[in-house]
Amino acid sequence: GVDFRAVFAALAETGYDGYVTVHQVGTGMDIPTGVRQFADYLRSVASFE
């Protein structure tokens, strides 16, 4: 898997403040549930201000 904490830390170090997109494949759950769960996870590992 992707170490999103490290990815967002590296982006922060460079001063990046643009958009981030994530493509999620094969979770086995319906799209709304998958989006909610992954958004919650991303919020837990990065600061989106």
pLDDT for 20 equals 85
pLDDT tens digits, residue range 1-49?
Answer: 889 899 999 999 999 989 888 787 777 889 899 889 888 988 898 877 6
What does the pLDDT read at residue 49?
Answer: 66
Q: What residue segments make up the domains of the chain, in order of their start?
A: 4-45
pLDDT for the residue 16: 92
Rounded CA separation 18/27 (Å): 27
pLDDT value of position 1: 81
In degrees to the nearest 10, what's the CA dihedral of 16, 24, 42, 12?
Answer: -20
Q: Taking the complete model, does pTM exceed 0.75, yes or no?
A: no
The CA distance from 9 to 45, in Å, is 9
Residue 22 is predicted with a pLDDT of 79
